[in-house]
Structure 1
Amino acid sequence: MADTRHPVGLDIVDKVLGEGFSANFASPEPFVQDAADHLYGEIWSRPGLSIRDRRLLTLGVLAAFGQGDQFALHAAGALKSGDLDADQLHEIVLHLAYYAGSSRGTVLRRAVLDALAQHKAG
């Protein structure tokens, strides 16, 4: 089954995190391979939710755990794919700050500003 999961997973990685990001999954380490095969090849690719839906859920969880770096990575992927725009990302930060905490909201705001700057730079 891994033979079909891996290419599907790499395709989803590029859809979620940006074209070419799957090159970061070239490592033979089991953790990296399992992320490509299972997380992206089986979970993100399921038909029950769109990638955008899964992205919103992921952003919420990352916010709740204060994972600013991962939040920025997924915000950048949302901008690249067109799933979310700058205004929507700012609204997400505002909304999540009240549920994840204001100090985490500050981290999320910085993550969005970094993702926007990276997206603008190109």
Structure 2
Amino acid sequence: MDELRRKGLDKMNEVYGWEMPDMPGEYFALTADHLFGTIWTRPGLSMRDKRIMTLTVVTALGITDLAEIQANAAMANEELTEDELKEMAIFLTHYLGFPLGSKLDGAVTKVAKQRKKAAERGGGEDKKANVNAALNMHSGSTLDDQ
């Protein structure tokens, strides 16, 4: 594995909050190497800044599953609290409208409940489901397809 791919996978792991496997395919390579190895690693914005911008965009586009992934990672990495994420939903509702803002609020509520249940059980969240969602988004495949 070359240095750029390792850098990209390391950043993907940080962004998503779990261990992302290296995957075959040109689309995944472009995502891992360029998006995460080059763009997400640029200086100038903190991870919190990048997370807020990403959450804003996925909320504006109504991509609830990615909002859940990003909210979970933001809480796991202690970049944003549940209260801050809820406040984002309230703020964005006034710019994006109630349907989109409420989707973010719902995503945060769902993730917070899952994290609380996992903490009570003493285990982590369903990492395989999270990895599969991210892989499907970035490569069109899942761990089970490999």
CA RMSD of aligned residues (A): 1.4
Aligned length: 118
User: 1:5: how far off?
Assistant: 1.4
Deviations 1:53-72 (A, max 9, x none): 11111111111111111111
Deviations 1:35-94 (A, max 9, x none): 111111000000111111111111111111111111111001101100011110100111
Residue type of the partner of 1:109? Answer: D
Matching of residues 1-122 of structure 1 within 5 Å = 3-20=2-19, 22-23=20-21, 26-120=22-116, 121=118, 122=124
State the match for 2:131 in structure 1: none
Residue type of the partner of 1:6? Answer: R
Q: 1:97, 1:29 → 2: CA distance?
A: 38
Question: Which runs of 4 or more aligned residues in structure 1 lie more than 4 Å from their structure 2 counterparts after TM superposition?
Answer: none
Residue type of the partner of 2:31? Answer: A
Residue type of the partner of 1:42? Answer: T
Q: Normalization by structure 2: what TM-score?
A: 0.76
**Structure with the greater alpha carbon radius of gyration:** 2
Higher helix share: 1
Unaligned runs of 5+ in 2: 119-123, 125-146
Q: Normalization by structure 1: what TM-score?
A: 0.89
Q: Percent identity?
A: 38
Q: 2:14, 2:102 → 1: CA distance?
A: 27
Q: 1:6, 1:114 → 2: CA distance?
A: 32
User: 1:119: how far off?
Assistant: 2.0
Unaligned runs of 5+ in 1: none
